[in-house]
């Protein structure tokens, strides 16, 4: 079980392909929030939340129905955040959660900054939402679902795709597939 804020020690034992569970506070951020954070970093201004040791989930959660903490909350394509990711890793973000491939530059930055990229299962938004106990907007409410939300999660499932040692579960899977001749 990983519980943010995370340290290098929390992540060093993880390897590409490991199943993980996350409990505690994580933050959401998608394209618009990433763009705003990048602008603040470029100007040397503080971010609206302290991200050192934290996890960012690439999701734009749907509105909650009565009696639920949140609506469906499935991952969005991570590569769209690649141009904004490296400065956030340098500020100490330790865990990124989304779906899909990352650029070679982001994978190198994960190693350099001892951080991990994990995938949540796409197409399972309603099931993933069951692991979210509370949600509140903490920055830029005018962005709607792209605002930064603070989520409290319990046993949130993900798979390590890129570990802090350079491992890549997607590359390993492709190699195994090709080895079998499929």
Domain that holds residue 26: 8-179
Specify the length of the chain in residues: 182
Q: Is residue 167 part of a domain?
A: yes
Looking at residue 41, what is its pLDDT? 97
Given pLDDT bands bounded at 50, 70 and 90, which one contains residue 173?
A: very high
pTM of the model: 0.96
Q: What is the mean pLDDT of residues 107-133?
A: 96
What tens digit of pLDDT does each residue of 58-101 get?
999 998 989 899 999 999 999 999 999 999 999 999 999 999 99
What tens digit of pLDDT does each residue of 103-113 get?
999 999 999 99
Q: Is residue 133 part of a domain?
A: yes
CATH number of residue 172's parent domain? 3.20.130.10
Q: How many domains does the chain have?
A: 1
Q: Is 149 a catalytic residue?
A: no
* Distance (Å, whole) CA 92 – CA 114: 9
Q: Is residue 2 part of a domain?
A: no
Q: Is residue 19 part of a domain?
A: yes
Q: Is residue 1 part of a domain?
A: no
Q: Is residue 3 part of a domain?
A: no
Residue with structure tokens 């993980």? 20
* Distance (Å, whole) CA 53 – CA 167: 21
Residue 63 Rama label (left phi>0; alpha psi -120 to 50; beta):
beta
Average pLDDT over the chain reads 96
Residue tagged active-site, from 34, 68, 131, 149: 34
């Amino acid at each position: 079980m990983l519980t943010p804020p995370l340290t290098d020690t929390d992540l060093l034992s993880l390897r590409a392909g490991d199943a993980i569970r996350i409990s505690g506070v994580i933050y959401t951020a998608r394209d618009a929030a990433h763009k705003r954070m990048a602008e603040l970093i470029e100007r040397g201004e503080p971010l609206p939340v302290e991200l050192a040791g934290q996890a960012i989930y690439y999701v734009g959660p749907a509105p909650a129905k009565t009696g639920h903490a949140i609506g469906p909350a499935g991952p969005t394509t991570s590569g769209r955040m690649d141009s904004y990711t490296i400065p956030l890793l340098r500020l100490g973000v330790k865990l990124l959660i989304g779906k899909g491939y990352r650029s070679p530059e982001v994978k190198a930055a994960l190693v350099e900054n001892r951080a991990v990229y994990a995938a949540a299962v796409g197409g399972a938004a309603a099931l993933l939402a069951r692991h979210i106990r509370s949600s509140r907007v903490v920055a830029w409410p005018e962005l709607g679902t792209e605002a930064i939300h603070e989520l409290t999660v319990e046993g949130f499932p993900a798979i390590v795709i890129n570990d802090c040692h350079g491992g890549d579960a997607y590359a390993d899977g492709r190699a195994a597939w090709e080895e079998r001749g499929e």
